[in-house]
Structure 1
């Protein structure tokens, strides 16, 4: 995991949590080892491929969860905007009488 974080080129920031400091230390500790050592550990670890697949699954699962919430936020905004449009149209009808035969468009800002 430290090698993956190293690829992100993380830097210390003025606002950092203890967890972020720990991640930076992890990168520092793992990047100090040679890639040859890292490669040998991969080659001779009988569960190395399983671990890589589990990491890939974990990233995909996290992405799905994040995008799932994003979809919910967008849906909520769209729904709220459609409700605002409906209220504006109803106010317009009350103020101006019945809608004319052609369709009127109300922009929400």
Structure 2
């Protein structure tokens, strides 16, 4: 298992796509973000990856967190994170969605 320090090791790496949505128009941007996620879900979950969705009604956050086992992360990255570019393009085109960003980090159940 890879280590960051002698007491911080990891077996999983996550790729997060996040954005802000607007409560305007009966939360239509949140509805659109969920529709975009669902249209890409099978590709994101391929090869045994797991996907979690986070929605915060206070901060208006929408996050897609795709987790891969560490040995498989390179393949996921080389494959363009299972269509991440298209997801970002689709999210960015939605009226009311702002601050579309990505981040990679380790993630472990404790």
**TM-score category, normalised to shorter length:** under 0.3
Q: Normalising by structure 2, what TM-score?
A: 0.24
Structure showing greater relative contact order (alpha-carbon pairs closer than 8 Å, 6 or more residues apart): 2
Bigger fraction of residues in helix:
1
Larger radius of gyration: 1
- Provide TM-score, normalisation by structure 1: 0.24
